[in-house]
Each structure stands twice: as structure tokens, then as C-alpha cells.
Structure 1
């Protein structure tokens, strides 16, 4: 669907801007407010922190859920076995994610999507309305509870939610990614992945991703994306509500305190709200025929979402890791962001050229071929 492809393409831009920070700096190990607090980097970090960070991966997750729901409905229309096909497709995605995580970049999200997808496929028999309701409930209840607990901890013991930088982690990242051999970079990548994907951390990520996928699946089953032109008033109201509430929470560390409690409210409650606001705004914009034509290049990039996402990691790590140009830790945040924007423009052009010759992106074609293989 054109609407879904545009949203996917737009979400890939935001995801790349955020991921670029991790490509060129030890993102896991520092306090970002002090690390990027100088006069050169502060304005760029504020813009990314408020308008980009934690708002674009929810859009991508919802589009992933919508895609699975559409496949489910098409299988039902054709009376084919959706579950067996979906499981095989997710197993292939899991394999691609593992290659990406351990050989390219530790911040991979495909493993999480594949594992979460295994849970979602058993829920797709629910009605679209039920998926939407459960998605919002399952998301808001634990996030609201955890936010309350963190603010309570902040009141009782402020040090319990204070940011701490790991000097050892920072030094190891700079030494290995910036100057290390391939094996040293592999070891650091593995440590970073384990740091970000501890058992409790991985479970918490799934708790966040699953309800977002449910919301996307519910919207797809209700055909809300196809009926956008008939829902302009509703889309306008939702855009104002989501962006108003979301941006209020996204600015929490700036009107409140820059500690983990306010950042949790910002990222895990405000972030998805802003993402939903962006989605409804795009759907509203897409009701105009001129927008369909103008955003066609972005839609084609969204059609090649997996290829685009993976090549972003390959290009980003080649620029900054020592087996490439070795610029790790050497650029300002603004420069890194401009690099991301420039690369994304080239990816949009590449998608336009590729899809003028082929029906699918190269990795999408491989994914499809392996999913349909009988061997």
C-alpha cells in the first residue's frame, strides 16, 4: 500500500539519524546530556532528542505489524496456510538479523522483530478492534506503571535514577572501533550487543515492541490506512492530540530533570505518541493527490525497507570503523547527522533506479526466495 510505504520510508530516515549516533560514538556508555552538552553539539542533540529519538522505531514496528496482518488477510482470502509461511519468513528474518547484529552492527532490531513476530502471528485471529484496544492497553499500562515507579524512586533516592558514564566502556569502544583489528571490532560488537540485550533487557524490549505491532496490525485489519481519505477529521484530531501530548513528554528532560525517570517518560511514553502523530499526519497529507506524486520516491524507499536498513548499517560502519575510514569518535553530532541525510538521499535515488528495473529490493527478493523455498 502506498500509504504504508511512505510511512516506512519516512521512519527509515529517522531511524538512520538516531543510529548514526551509535555508528560514530560510544552511545551505550555515556550520559548524552553531558557528552553532547557543548555549544557545538547541544542544539543538534536537542532536535534529535525531542523530534527523532524513540519516535521512528515505533512507526516501523507498527508497519511491521500491519504488514503481517495484511499477509494474514490475503492468506485467508486464498485459503492458504498463513502460520507455516509466516513462521518460515520470520525464521529467515531472524537469520538475517543475526548476521547483521554480529557481523555488521550491534544495534540490530531485526532479531527483536522476528522474535516478537512469532508471538504476534498467533494473535492475528483477533479482530482489528480487539488488537487495537489490547495494543494500547498492553503498552500504556506497564509503561505508565514503570514511569510511576521511576518517579517514586527519584523522589526517595535521586541517585538511583542518575545517569552514569562508563569510562571503561567508552575507552574500549573508541580503541576497538576506531583503531582495532576486525577481530577486536567483532569482540566489541558482541559486548555491545550483550550489553543492550541482557535477558531482562530483551524481554522489556519485546514488551514495548509487541503492543506497537498489535496496534499496526489492528489498524490494518480495520483497513484504516486505506480509508484515510474518509477519515480526515479524525486524522486531524489525532495528529493534534498525539503530537501535543507526545511533544510535552518528549521535552520532559528539559522542563524537568535530566535523569532516567524523565528520560523514560520521554522515550517510552512520549516517543511512540509522537510517532503516532507523525503517522496520522502523513496519512492526512497523503489524502491530497499531489502528495502521492511528491512522496513517490519515499514510498519506493519504503518498499525496499530491509535493503535500506541493512545498507545504512554497512555504510555507517564502513565510514567510522577501523576496517573502513576509521573516523569513529572524530565527528561532531551535526556532521554525523548531515552524513546520515546525505546517505539517505542517495538511498532514495538508488531505490528509484532499482525499482525501475526490478519489482523488489535485493534483500527483499532474497528474503522472499528463502521464505518460499521448499528445501
Structure 2
């Protein structure tokens, strides 16, 4: 995967320069957040739980739900979006610095986004309806024209997209209050056979795309990530330490404060009404964007501290970040095979804590796999295929 984006392979010009630790480290950790967020979706629930989390469970299960809702759910996606935008801007910056024409650079960005969509379609149809690759590929096509504009245009675009999302989230709150419905069944996970799950995914997938583009705060973080790359916030954290610290503190603080009521509800500390629950979902989503940006800045600070002391764990996380497309697809496939009813069906025999343990185990497997590839000097299989698609004409 490209050093600055989950969806992009290593560029030839990148190999000639030292890689920035922060984006690779952030993406390696982000994959853990994603698999932890997806795992509960395979655990059946007898009623309407909080987001994708099942009802009931032991005290330990409720603690896991509290931690996941407070720090992970709807926080990892904006973090991914910021890194994706950072990566697109990095590609543009490096291509333009080599006197590549603007038209060729634009075509390269389009091909990358189209390739991401292609991978996402295959992933969604055959494995997991709620794929994120497609969403970011489409988002990249929608906002790529802004990536060649001024810094002020990027910031204004982020502000406008944020206002747009807030409008739809308020509308969502009203609709939830009227209908009393705050979660939707995940039929493809509960299907008994692979064919039935595939049919369900074909119905779930289009709705997920529309929902994500209208409701999820993704476009604004992409533009903010592109702006951050222009300012070299993650590439030169030593020169931006004060700013990164402020963004980290403010972003994560807003995220935690905004996510706390919903996390308490998920842990069954209190039971909000349908009207209140709709408001909490919107608040949780909006503040999640702050959390994603805060996490991204935090890894800039972590990379600064570790720049001269990269132990085995840090190197393995960075290796995972370099191959995050391969690792994302691998962990999704393993999660489905182990937990889905059409797979081994373990999801029906565990609860939140068990799902989190399996998610952690799967993530560790991908980290080990990525480190093995790193020591052999090889890219991930998905990155190799993606590169062939993107650079097929050159």
C-alpha cells in the first residue's frame, strides 16, 4: 500500500526517499480499530442494540462495548479519511515535483480511486457489505478537483462539507425520533449459507454507499488530511509539535465528551428513549470526526518521540501500515470466515468480549504477516495487483 493511503501501492519515487513513520504507524493501528469496530456486527442480538453492538452480555462485555463506542466506533473511519486525503495530496505533490503534467497527475488520481472502487465492489459482494474501500474511492472522485486548489479552498471545502453532514445528521435524528428505530439488521452476517449472504449483500451494499456518503463525516477529513500534507504536519512533526499537540488534545477531548453518553447507553448504564437515542447517534457521529483527526495528529507526536527508537513492535506496525490494503482485506475475510453464520459461525456463540478477542487475534496475524513480507522486501499481494491496475499504461 502507498505510504500515505490505505488504497495506494508504494510509488517508485517513494522508494528513493525515507518514509515518514507517522502515516504508516497510524494506518497500522487504524486497522486494529477497524477490525474491532466490525467484529460486533457478527454477534447476533435479540433486539435493537446500540449501533452494531448486541444487547445483554456480562459486565466484561459491557465494558468492551463502552470502550469501543467511546474510542473506536465512528472514529476510525474519519481517521482513515484523513490519511486517505493525506496520501492523495502526497501523490500530487511528488508527481508535480517531477514535472509530471497536471493532466497526467489527475489521471493517476482517477485510476487510483477507480481501482479502490473495484477492490471495494469485490470485497462487498463476496465478503462484507459495509466495505469502506468503495466509499473512499467514490469520495476521492468527488473531491479530487479540490486537491489542486489553494489551502484556503481546502479549508472552506471542509467547512462546507461539515455543515452539509450536520444537516443530514439532524435530519436523521428527527427521522429516528419519529420511527423509534436506531439500528438495522445485518442479514448477510446471519444468513445460513454463503449464497444467501451474497444475495443479502447485494441489497445492503448500495444502501450502505448512499448512507455513508450522506451521513458519515468523511469528505471533510479527506480535505483536512490533504491540507495537513501540504503543511507537512506528519512528515515534519518536530516542526509542528505544538500544533499537533493542540489538535490531539482538542480532537480527542471533543470525541470523548461527545461519545460518552452513547457509550454509557451501549454499556447499559442507562436506557435513553428513542428520541434521545437519535440525537446521541448524531452527536456521536459529529464528534467522531474530531476523534479521527485527533488520532491522526497523535500519531505524528508518537512518531516524533520514536523517530530514533524504533523497536520491533513499532517496525511491525509500520510494516502493516505499508501493506494496509492487503491487511484490511485479509482481516475482513478472516473475520467473516470465523464469525459469520455462513462460515464457522463462532459469532453466534460469543458476545462482545469474545468478538474483541478474535478481532485482536486476527489483527495480530496480519501484523506478523506484514512484518514477514517487510523482511523479505515484498509488497502485499493486494498492493501488487493494485499497482498493476493503476500503472497498466506505463
Using the size of structure 2 for normalisation, the TM-score is 0.83
Which position in structure 2 is the counterpart of 1:182?
Answer: 194
Distance, in Å, in 2 between the alignment partners of 1:372 and 1:148 is 43
Q: Contact between 1:174 and 1:329, CA under 8 Å: does it hold in 2?
A: no
Which position in structure 2 is the counterpart of 1:265?
Answer: 283
Which position in structure 1 is the counterpart of 2:374?
Answer: 355
Cα deviation, residue 160, structure 1: 1.8
Query: 1:247-258 alignment to 2 at 5 Å?
Result: 247-253=256-262, 254=264, 257=272
Cα deviation, residue 328, structure 1: 3.5
Q: Contact between 2:50 and 2:182, CA under 8 Å: does it hold in 1?
A: no
Q: Does 1:204 align with 2:222?
A: no
Query: 1:96-107 alignment to 2 at 5 Å?
Result: 96-107=119-130
Q: Which moved more, 1:303-312 or 1:269-278?
A: 269-278
SS in 1 for 2:289: helix
Which position in structure 2 is the counterpart of 1:119?
Answer: 142
Which position in structure 1 is the counterpart of 2:356?
Answer: 337
Question: How many residue pairs align between the two structures?
Answer: 359
Distance, in Å, in 2 between the alignment partners of 1:57 and 1:112 is 10
SS in 2 for 1:54: coil
Which position in structure 2 is the counterpart of 1:191?
Answer: 203
Q: Contact between 2:23 and 2:299, CA under 8 Å: does it hold in 1?
A: no
SS in 1 for 2:145: coil
Which position in structure 1 is the counterpart of 2:180?
Answer: 162
Listed as ranges, the gaps of 5+ residues in structure 2 are 1-19
Query: 1:15-34 alignment to 2 at 5 Å?
Result: 15-25=34-44, 30-32=48-50
From 111, 115, 128, the counterpart of 1:88: 111
Cα deviation, residue 218, structure 1: 1.0
SS in 1 for 2:31: helix
Which position in structure 1 is the counterpart of 2:297?
Answer: 280
Cα deviation, residue 220, structure 1: 0.6
Cα deviation, residue 26, structure 1: 6.8
C-alpha distance 290-336 of structure 1, shift in aligned 2 (>3 A):
farther
From 79, 82, 86, the counterpart of 1:62: 82
SS in 2 for 1:36: coil
Which position in structure 2 is the counterpart of 1:44?
Answer: 64
Q: Which moved more, 1:284-293 or 1:31-40?
A: 31-40
C-alpha distance 31-226 of structure 1, shift in aligned 2 (>3 A):
same
Using the size of structure 1 for normalisation, the TM-score is 0.87
C-alpha distance 189-222 of structure 1, shift in aligned 2 (>3 A):
same
C-alpha distance 291-49 of structure 1, shift in aligned 2 (>3 A):
farther
Which position in structure 1 is the counterpart of 2:154?
Answer: 131
Cα deviation, residue 129, structure 1: 4.5
Q: Contact between 1:30 and 1:165, CA under 8 Å: does it hold in 2?
A: yes
CA RMSD of aligned residues (A): 2.7
Q: Contact between 1:161 and 1:261, CA under 8 Å: does it hold in 2?
A: no
Cα deviation, residue 104, structure 1: 1.1
Which position in structure 1 is the counterpart of 2:15?
Answer: none
C-alpha distance 239-306 of structure 1, shift in aligned 2 (>3 A):
same
Which position in structure 1 is the counterpart of 2:222?
Answer: 213
C-alpha distance 193-42 of structure 1, shift in aligned 2 (>3 A):
same
C-alpha distance 296-346 of structure 1, shift in aligned 2 (>3 A):
same
SS in 1 for 2:128: coil
Listed as ranges, the gaps of 5+ residues in structure 1 are none
Which position in structure 2 is the counterpart of 1:232?
Answer: 241
Distance, in Å, in 2 between the alignment partners of 1:66 and 1:300 is 18
Q: Does 1:241 align with 2:250?
A: yes
Q: Deviations over 1:106-140 (max 9, x none)?
A: 111111111111123211111234313432x1243
SS in 2 for 1:360: coil
Distance, in Å, in 1 between the alignment partners of 2:152 and 2:236 is 15
Distance, in Å, in 1 between the alignment partners of 2:171 and 2:342 is 44
